[in-house]
C-alpha cells in the first residue's frame, strides 16, 4: 500500500511535466526546425510549391511552379 502511494507520488508529477510543459516546448522547437530542414533539402521554390499544395489539399504541386 505504501509503495503504491509512493509510486503514484513520484509518477504523477512526471506525467504532468511531460504532458503540459515539455510537450508544448518540444512542439515550439521541433516544428519550425523540421520545416527549416525541409526548406534546406527541397530548396525555396520547391518548398513553396509543396507548401501551397498542402494548403490546397492536393498531394502533388503543380509542375509549372517547380520549373520556374
Mean pLDDT per 10-residue section of the chain, whose length is 68 residues: 88 90 93 96 92 81 58
Number of folded domains in the chain? 1
Contact 65, 52 (CB under 8 A): yes
Phi-psi region of 43 (alpha: psi -120 to 50; beta: other; left: phi over 0): left
Within 10 angstroms of residue 65's Cβ, the number of other Cβ atoms is 14
Q: What are 68's three cell numbers?
A: 520556374
Residue length, the chain?
68
At residue 42, the pLDDT reads 94
Look at the block and give the residue holding cell 494548403.
55
Q: What are 55's three cell numbers?
A: 494548403
Look at the block and give the residue holding cell 509543396.
50
User: Can you give the residue range of the structural domain that contains 30?
Assistant: 2-67
At residue 60, the pLDDT reads 72
Amino acid at each position: 500500500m505504501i509503495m503504491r502511494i509512493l509510486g503514484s507520488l513520484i509518477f504523477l508529477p512526471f506525467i504532468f511535466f511531460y504532458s503540459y510543459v515539455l510537450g508544448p516546448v518540444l512542439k515550439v522547437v521541433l516544428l519550425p526546425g523540421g520545416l527549416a530542414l525541409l526548406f534546406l533539402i527541397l530548396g525555396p521554390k520547391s518548398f513553396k510549391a509543396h507548401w501551397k499544395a498542402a494548403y490546397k489539399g492536393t498531394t502533388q504541386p503543380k509542375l509549372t511552379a517547380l520549373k520556374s
